[in-house]
């Protein structure tokens, strides 16, 4: 059960994730009933209520991973509610594919989170695994079939000249000689 700063349950506990996320955001912003938290406001996930409604030991049986994870930080889910706020954990947008998992780019086949549109407006819980299994298999089979019909061209470094021409056409001056394939995530820090 989700509880706002005034102790009110503000939505049905079995709503879909998109409805829950929108409800939490609305409570914390438009309605101003969020609980002050680091970096903004949140709402309470009333985990002790699970034990009250379903009996002692329910959290231990049904949510053992969460129980252990929060226990590492000194929080007992059976006795203390936790602050929650929605965050992006799955992207519903992405690359458009056809029924063979092919894209508009020749020889590029895609599956998983990079794909857009196969879930419609709202991905339901558990569909990601099915999506990966079905479209991963289709993409793999399609790519394998296509590889048998594809003739590889002669390997050259002409892509470097093409990159330089694109930079010049865009008016960009740089000392880079090729596109960045593996970006650095050091943000200026020295890495050992």
The answer to the question of residue 68 being in a domain is yes
Query: What pLDDT sits at residue 102?
Result: 96
Q: 97-125: per-residue pLDDT in tens?
A: 999 999 999 899 999 888 887 776 666 66
Query: What pLDDT sits at residue 154?
Result: 80
Phi first, then psi: what are they for 46, rounded to 5°?
-80, 75
What are the Cα distances from residue 160, in Å, to 9, 26, 108, 172, 178? 59, 50, 21, 15, 6
The answer to the question of residue 171 being in a domain is yes
What is the domain-level CATH number for residue 47? 3.90.700.10
Same domain? 134 vs 63: no
Which residue out of 17, 62, 68, 192 is catalytically annotated?
A: 17
What are the Cα distances from residue 66, in Å, to 57, 106, 164? 13, 44, 51
Would you say the C-alpha torsion 75, 78, 80, 84 has a positive or negative sign? positive
Provide the residue range defining the domain that includes 171.
91-177
- Among residues 84, 108, 135, the one where a domain terminates is 84
Known catalytic membership, residue 68? no
Query: What pLDDT sits at residue 89?
Result: 64
Same domain? 100 vs 79: no
Same domain? 19 vs 51: yes
The answer to the question of residue 103 being in a domain is yes
Same domain? 98 vs 170: yes
**Regions in the chain scoring below 70 on pLDDT:** 89-93, 120-126, 177-192
Q: Can you tell me whether residue 43 is helix, strand or coil?
A: strand
CA 152 to chain centre: 35
The answer to the question of residue 130 being in a domain is yes
The answer to the question of residue 189 being in a domain is no
Length of the chain counted residue by residue: 192
The answer to the question of residue 186 being in a domain is no
- Among residues 21, 55, 84, the one where a domain terminates is 84
If phi > 0 it is left, if psi is from -120 to 50 it is alpha, else beta; for residue 39 that is left
- Among residues 65, 84, 103, the one where a domain terminates is 84
For the chain, the domain total comes to 2
* Angle formed at CA 59 by CA 55 and CA 62, multiple of 5 degrees: 110
CA distance 170 to 76: 57
Same domain? 79 vs 150: no
Same domain? 104 vs 124: yes
CB 75 within 8 A of CB 83: no
């Amino acid at each position: 059960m989700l509880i706002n700063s005034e102790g009110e349950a503000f939505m049905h506990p079995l709503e879909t994730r998109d409805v829950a996320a929108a409800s939490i955001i609305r409570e914390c912003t438009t309605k101003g009933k969020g609980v002050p938290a680091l970096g903004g406001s949140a709402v309470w996930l009333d985990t002790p209520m699970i034990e009250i409604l379903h009996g002692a030991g329910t959290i231990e049986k049904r949510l053992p991973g969460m129980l252990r994870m929060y226990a590492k930080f000194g929080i007992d889910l059976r006795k203390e509610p936790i602050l929650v706020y929605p965050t992006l954990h799955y992207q519903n947008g992405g690359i458009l594919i056809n029924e063979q998992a092919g894209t508009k780019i020749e020889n590029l086949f895609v599956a998983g989170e990079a794909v857009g549109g196969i879930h419609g407006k709202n991905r339901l819980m558990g569909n990601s695994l099915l999506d990966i299994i079905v479209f991963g298999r289709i993409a793999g089979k399609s790519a394998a079939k296509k590889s048998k019909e594809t003739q590889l061209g002669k390997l050259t470094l002409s892509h470097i000249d093409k990159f330089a021409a694109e930079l010049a056409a865009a008016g960009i001056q740089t000392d880079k000689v090729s596109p960045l394939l593996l970006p650095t995530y050091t943000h200026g820090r020295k890495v050992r």
